[in-house]
Chains A and B, each alone.
Chain A
């Protein structure tokens, strides 16, 4: 079974050797790798926490937009040599508009006519599928990667190892979390978004349009995928179907974090990152994708409200 460990592409240098012994270095580095990975998972999930957690729109196409973000970062990076994170920040408005447009279609076709969850879900599933196949048709199924000065070197603190390729995405993700949290808690529009989740009728009575606010919120949720996509392609080479691995993870984190709570999302993401990192270190990386599902099922079965649920 251990032989299958060789094929893991997400394997990070310095995390683990082939030793089976239970050494302190191994544990501490698995923990660090898990926290850094978790930070990145938070970036991937924040958007779903807004769309699924707050707006109740089950956007399972979210990972497809992340892959789209990765490919845009890849194109600009290889053509012009610009840093992928900078590219993604520039792309934010474009992704925002894309999200707002998709919400408009979703609203006109499904939400307006009552809660037809079946068709809404199929719509997003179709979007996921179409995006993936289009990317395959344009770019093929080769793995693509970006170049940046922080891919490769790593900081060492005693026995602790901080690969910059993981550290930079983690910090970027935390920065994004900070910005989103400030928007949601302190700005008018952010408070309106929370209000949409609580009581749409009351919001309408205050003279605000729930549709408009949901459109803005969904736009923000898709905008986060531009950044998450750039972070993804920094961490690992990307091909179109990579996104599928993230569907389980993203929703597991979102549910575990208590739908719609951003701090809960970050904590849950770190937790999943740590569990996955330990699984990969001690059982081999090919088992890591199963972890998210286990976490999801256990959460759904025992604590559907999540860690910080309302």
Chain B
């Protein structure tokens, strides 16, 4: 399937999802659906760096929060429509990703992982000390009530996030099948050998961190409008970091399908658990599933299905 065809198909699927959600005509569907869509974008973005090149980013929350806080900043400084804010959030987080990568990617992979963890702490410190965006008290963002041509505002946010899902999945799938993707795969499999055969590893890794960071920032940009009241502890919440790792790991990291499956499954499970049990328990479930999958099914659900199909063919 060509990329263009894939794009058209995914737009069609997205349209079906949107109209199906409207048929239910219950705002809760949009609120819960938005969270799941947001996780699809985060998981796909994480996988572009983590799954394709093998460099672990523990700072997803930081990139997400950068997007969210750039929205808060521009909401106060020069109000703009959300699609533009999404692009700005993407640029800000992409630049941070590039800078991070430039400083740490020449070293062993572990250093990059540790630096991303530390980055989250530092950016949170900066935001807590920055009174203009609310500091530690947080910032209120008043959500416009209705959109004339669409209805409730949450439907508009849902539609935007759905668009981001289509964009990120198309990018991920395109990377996978392009020369870029093969370059990423050589880095993941044997960086030294790749370097020796003339693959420009540093450049490729920087491309990956920038794209991945930018997508996470774009996922975070509409978040203040969704939540209405943004606090540093909610924007930098560890659940974003752990979910964006757990979802691809559980789904499978080698293709774009894995993060999608992982995010839908784990996202829905968490929505159900939050409503029926408690939010602390649902985080525990995610953590335990992550550890279990990493040990038992290293290639995730996609790997399990592939293995099962191969066995059936024999």
Where the two chains meet, the residues of A that have a C-beta atom closer than 8 Å to any C-beta of B are 1, 4, 7, 52, 58, 60, 105, 109, 116-119, 121-123, 125-127, 129-130, 132-134, 136-137, 241, 244-245, 247-248, 251-252, 255, 286-287, 289-290, 292-294, 296-297, 300-301, 304
C-alpha gap A125/B240 in the complex (Å): 13
How long is the Cα–Cα vector from A127 to B284 in the complex, in angstroms? 10
Interface residues as binary, B266-286 with A (CB distance below 8 Å gives 1, 0 otherwise): 000000000000001101101
A257 to chain B minimum Cβ distance, whole angstroms, is 14
Which of B125, B253, B298 contacts A290 (CB under 8 A)?
A: B125
Q: Considering only CB atoms, which chain A residue lies closest to B111 in the complex?
A: A300
Of B110, B128, B288, B298, the residue contacting A4 (CB under 8 A) is B128
Docked CA distance A22–B118 (Å): 31
The answer for the CA separation of A132 and B242 in the assembled complex, in Å, is: 12
Q: How large is the interface on B (under 10, 10 to 19, 20 to 34, 35 or more residues)?
A: 35 or more
Interface flags, B104-139, vs A, CB<8A=1, else 0:
100101110111011101101110110100011000
Query: Once the chains bind, are B290 and A137 in contact (CB under 8 Å)?
Result: no
Contact A248 B56 (CB under 8 A): no
Using A4-B129, A125-B245, A126-B288 as known contacts, list a sample of 6 further A-B pairs with CB atoms less than 8 Å apart, ordered by residue number in A: A1-B129, A60-B117, A126-B291, A247-B114, A289-B121, A293-B121
Contact B118 A248 (CB under 8 A): yes
Q: A4-B129, A133-B283 are known contacts. Are A122 and B122 too (CB-CB below 8 A)? A: no
Q: How far is the CA of A130 from the CA of B284 in the complex (A)?
A: 6
B125 touches which one: A121, A129, A286 (CB < 8 A)?
A286
Given the known inter-chain contacts A126-B294, A287-B129, please indicate yes or no for A121 contacting B118, CB distance below 8 A. no
Interface-centre pick from A245, A255, A296 (highest chain B CB count, 10 A): A296
B residues 232-248 near A (Cβ < 8 Å) are 238, 242, 245-246
How many Å lie between the Cα of A105 and that of B113 in the bound state? Answer: 22
B136-A58 in contact (CB<8A): no
A282 to chain B, nearest CB (A): 14
Provide the residues of chain A in CB contact with B121, threshold 8 Å.
244-245, 247-248, 289-290, 292-293
CB-based contact A126/B290 at 8 Å: yes
B contact residues around A109 at 8 Å (CB): 294-295
| Interface contact A58-B122, CB-CB below 8 Å | no
Report 6 cross-chain contacts, Cβ distance below 8 Å, ordered by A residue. Answer: A60-B113, A119-B298, A122-B294, A126-B242, A126-B294, A297-B115
CA distance A296 to B245 in the complex (A): 23
Contact of B115 among A105, A132, A133, A296 (CB under 8 A): A296
Contacts of B103 in A (CB 8 A): 297, 300-301
B307 in the interface, Cβ–Cβ < 8 Å? no
Point out the residues of chain B lying under 8 angstroms from A289, CB to CB: 121-122, 124-125
A65 → chain B closest CB, angstroms: 15
Per-residue contact bits, chain B 288-314, to A (CB 8 Å; 1 contact, 0 not): 101100110010000000000000000
Does B67 interact with chain A (Cβ within 8 Å)? Answer: no
Q: How far is the CB of B108 from chain A (nearest CB, A)?
A: 9
Contact partner of A125 among B115, B126, B242, CB < 8 A? B242
Residues of B close to A137: CB separation below 8 A: 280-281, 284
- In whole Å, how far is A54's beta carbon from the nearest beta carbon of chain B? 14
Residues from chain B with Cβ under 8 Å of A248 in the complex:
114, 117-118, 121-122
